[in-house]
C-alpha cells in the first residue's frame, strides 16, 4: 500500500472504530455504560467527529457523521442500528475518499444489577455489515462482516459513576492481502463526575491491541468530555481525544467530537 493510502486507511479505520464506539456509547465517550432505554423507550444519537492523524510526516484529516437509533425492547435490553458517513482528506494526492461506512446492528443487555451496591453489568454484541470493494480500498470500512463484543461494568460512586469496558472484536477484509484480517482487544475506564443536575465532566482512557498475521500494534487513548443536559431527555456533548500507537512508523490522532442525544417514547 502506498504511504498516502496507508495513512488514509489508518486514520479512517482508527477514527471510524472510535466514532462507532462513541456513537453507540455514552456520548462523547468511547467507554459505554450499562444504561438502557427501558421498555418502549427510544433514542437518537448524532455526532460530528473531526480527526487529524499524523504518521511519518504525512497528515490526514477525517470528518465523520455517525447516526444511531436505539429502541428498548425490555427494561434491560436495547437494540440499536447505526449508519455513518465519512470523508478523508489525505493531504497528498491519491488518498482522498468519501462515502458511507459499515452499517451496524447490535444489542445491549444489562444482565446483572445490585441496587444496594449500585453495581451493574451488561453485554453488548455488535455486527458490522460489509462495505463495497472501492470503499474498503479507500479505508472507509471493512469489506466482510465483522463484529465486536463488549463487557460493561458501571459502579455508582459518591461523585458520580465509574464505567469499565473490556472488549474483543474481529475485523475482516475482502482484500486481506492488502489489509490483513485482525483481532482486536480493548480495555477502558471512564470516571464521570456529576457537577450538577445539568453538567457532567468525564475522563476516558483506554488501550487497544490489534493482532494480524503474527504482528501486533497497540494504541492508547485519552479523552476529556463534557455533557450538558437541559432536560432529562436531551444531552449535548463535547469531547477532545488523543490516540497514539506503537506501529512503525507510528500514528498520532487528535479528535474533536460534538454530539446530541435525544430520548423519546
| Euclidean distance between CA atoms 108 and 122, whole angstroms | 7
Question: Could you tell me the pTM of the whole model?
Answer: 0.92
HEC profile for the chain? CCHHHHHHHHHHHHHHHHHHHHHHCCCCCCCCCCCCCCCCCEEEEEEEEEEEEEECCEEEEEEEEEEEEEEECCCCEEEEEEEEEEEEECCCCCCCEEEECCCEEEEEEEEEEECCCCEEEEEEEEEECCCCHHHHHCCCCCCCCEEEEEEEEEEEECCEEEEEEEEEEEECCCCCCCCCCEEEEEEEEEEEEECCCCEEEEEEEEEEEEEECCEEEEEEEEEEEEEEEEECCEEEEEEEEEEEECCCCCEEEEEEEEEEEEEEC
Question: What does the pLDDT read at residue 4?
Answer: 40
Question: What does the pLDDT read at residue 137?
Answer: 83
| Euclidean distance between CA atoms 27 and 113, whole angstroms | 22
Question: What does the pLDDT read at residue 5?
Answer: 42
Question: What does the pLDDT read at residue 25?
Answer: 66
Question: What does the pLDDT read at residue 108?
Answer: 97
How many of the other CB atoms lie within 10 Å of CB of 24? Answer: 25
- Print pLDDT tens along the chain (265 aa): 444 444 444 444 444 444 444 445 689 999 999 999 999 999 999 999 999 988 888 888 989 999 999 999 999 999 999 999 999 888 776 778 899 999 999 999 999 999 999 999 999 999 999 999 988 888 888 999 999 999 999 999 999 999 999 999 999 999 887 778 989 999 999 999 999 999 999 999 999 998 988 888 899 999 999 999 999 999 999 999 999 988 888 889 999 999 999 999 9
CB 238 within 8 Å of CB 258? yes
Amino acid at each position: 500500500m502506498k504511504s498516502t493510502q496507508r495513512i488514509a486507511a489508518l486514520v479512517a479505520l482508527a477514527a471510524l472504530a472510535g466514532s462507532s464506539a462513541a456513537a453507540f456509547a455514552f456520548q462523547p465517550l468511547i467507554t459505554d455504560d450499562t444504561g438502557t432505554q427501558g421498555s418502549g423507550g427510544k433514542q437518537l444519537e448524532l455526532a460530528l467527529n473531526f480527526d487529524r492523524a499524523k504518521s511519518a510526516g504525512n497528515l490526514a484529516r477525517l470528518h465523520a457523521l455517525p447516526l444511531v437509533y436505539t429502541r428498548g425492547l425490555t427494561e434491560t435490553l436495547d437494540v440499536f442500528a447505526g449508519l455513518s458517513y465519512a470523508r478523508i482528506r489525505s493531504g497528498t494526492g491519491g488518498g482522498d475518499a468519501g462515502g458511507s461506512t459499515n452499517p451496524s446492528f447490535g444489542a445491549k443487555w444489562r444482565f446483572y444489577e445490585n441496587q444496594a451496591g449500585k453495581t451493574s453489568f451488561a453485554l453488548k454484541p455488535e455486527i458490522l455489515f460489509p462495505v463495497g470493494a472501492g470503499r474498503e480500498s479507500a479505508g472507509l470500512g471493512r469489506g466482510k462482516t465483522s463484529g465486536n463484543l463488549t463487557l460493561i461494568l458501571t459502579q455508582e460512586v459518591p461523585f458520580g459513576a465509574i464505567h469499565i469496558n473490556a472488549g474483543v472484536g474481529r475485523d475482516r477484509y475482502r482484500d486481506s492481502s492488502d489489509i490483513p484480517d485482525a483481532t482486536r482487544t480493548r480495555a477502558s475506564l471512564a470516571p464521570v463526575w456529576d457537577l450538577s443536575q445539568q453538567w457532567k465532566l468525564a475522563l476516558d482512557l483506554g488501550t487497544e491491541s490489534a493482532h494480524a498475521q503474527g504482528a501486533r500494534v497497540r494504541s492508547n487513548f485519552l479523552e476529556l468530555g463534557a455533557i450538558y443536559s437541559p432536560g432529562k431527555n436531551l444531552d449535548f456533548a463535547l469531547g477532545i481525544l488523543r490516540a497514539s500507537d506503537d506501529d512503525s512508523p507510528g500514528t498520532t490522532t487528535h479528535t474533536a467530537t460534538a454530539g446530541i442525544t435525544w430520548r423519546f417514547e
